[in-house]
Each structure stands twice: as structure tokens, then as C-alpha cells.
Amino acid sequence: MTEVSRRAVVTGGAGFIGSHLCERLVEQGIAVVCVDDFSTGRRENLAGLIDSPLFRLVEADVSEPFTVEGPVDYVAHLASPASPFDYLRLPLETLRVGSAGTENALRLAVANRARFLLTSTSEVYGDPAEHPQRESYWGNVNPIGPRAVYDEAKRYAEAVTSAYRRTLGADTAIARLFNCFGPRMRRDDGRVVPTFVGQALAGEPLTLNGSGEQTRSLCYVDDTVRGLLALLFSDLSGPVNIGGTGELTVREIAELIAREAGVELRTVHQPLPQDDPGRRCPDIGIARTRLGWKPEVPTAEGLHRTMAWWTAAAQEARV
């Protein structure tokens, strides 16, 4: 089978990470069917793909049964609200896409004997009691808190993916993503980098939740997508952590972004959201040894690229 004959279905392909993944697949000569209902994804994310003969867009809600005509070699399931703003705004939809949506994507993969990749999340670790977080850690999740609609949706998605592998022999893999950032994030999506970048460029104080001493480990989107592709094209089932290991406090992230924007750091504080994790940093030993993957773009360089994209996008919007 030649590369040009391969075909991938990417659910949530119009989203932040999904659109970058679609582009990398097309660049490798793999035909892509993007399935998205645009509840959180954006059509402009696909602007560079829409005229490609290797790209096709199907507008559909994967929480409902859907079909894709023709052969399928890979199914990458990224469909889900992923930011606090989105999953708190769409709690029932988030639970459905993690449950019914995952199973619908799995059925498509099984019917085509395709390799299936689930993009899970570091949120399955909750507010972790283990640090750094290894894939063997079961997590510390509040199942009835407001964040549970996302955390538990992803935990269920991992469970049903694993059950399809054990019971039906499905060829599956699970990636757990940590704090990905980069171009195409929405300012209003509630995550730390777009919030701080938007505020810094607007000359506003940067909003710190709680003390700002909680930590995150940022990974630039190009590195994240490289990790997803390495796992997709492997025979590894996972779960596999994909993320940066340069742990930073939220205040340190604010300082980096203010410096890149060329503004004095001014901050305001608001209460820490319920169940907000105090520390977040992956152990990427499995990704390093089994996939040969590690992040390559330094955080400062990733923030520079992100801010340059953001500035250019704002200028285009004003034209």
C-alpha cells in the first residue's frame, strides 16, 4: 500500500489540534476525511485544506451514528469540547461525545479494520497525588464536580477503547495530552495560554486563578501532533503521555507571555476553580523509549510563534 492510497478519518478535525493533525496527514500524502459539527471547531481552521484533493469535510455530530464511504485505514478521535469554557457550557454534549461518540468512532474503525487513536487527556489524572504523572497512575478525580463532565468522559472513552481492544481485537491506541498550545486557539476558550496572550496584547492585567503557584507543563502544538502521529503509526496501545516536561507555575507562564508581548506584568486574582489541579507534569518515559518522541520546540519559542500568529490574525480581521 503506497502512502497516497492511505485514508484517515479525523473526528473533531476542525478544532485546534485536529486541524493541525489534518494538515500533517495531508502533507504525508494521506487522504483525510474531517468529521466535525462545529460546536467548538472553526471553519477558518481548515482554510489551508479545503481545496486539497486529499481533503474532504463531513459536517456531522459523531455522537450520532455516522458513515464514511470508502476504505479507512486510520481513525483519529479528537471530537470533544476540550477547554473549561466549552465543556462547562456543553456538559451533556461533552459526556455524549466521550461515550456514544467514542463508540461510534470505534465502530467505524472496527468495520474497516483501521487503526484507532483516542486523544485522551491529562485530566484523567485529576488533581494528582503522584508527581510527575505516569500512565500507570489511576488519578484523583472528583466524579461529581463540574470538571467531571470532561474528566469522566475521557476516562470512559479510555475504558470503552480498551474494551473494544480486548473483546473485539480492535487495533487501538490511547494518547494522554498535556497542556497543548499554539496557533488557532480561541482567546475565549478558557485555557491559560490564550487567556494570557489575549490579555497581554490588549494591554489588560493577566488573570491568575488562586495564588498562581499551581503548575502546568506546556507543549507546542507541532510537538503534540508529532507525538500523535508517532503513536498512530506504531503498534503501541498505550496509554502514552504526550506533553512537555518543563513544569512552570501559572505565574511564570504569565511572566513569559508579558515579556514576549513587551508589556509590564500586571495581574489580578480570582478564586481557584473547583478541583483545579495543583500540579501537572507528565512522565514521558514511554513516549521517549517506545516512540522516540520528545518535545523539540522550547516554550519561549512556542509562545513567540503563537503570539505572532495571534497578531497576524487580528490584523487580518481588521482589514
Q: How far is CA 302 from each of CA 45, 220, 244, 273, rounded to the nearest angstrom?
A: 19, 6, 12, 27
Q: Which of 109, 253, 255 is nearest to 193 (CA)?
A: 253
Grid coordinates belonging to 213: 503557584
The catalytic residues are: 150
92 close to 105: Cβ distance less than 8 angstroms: no
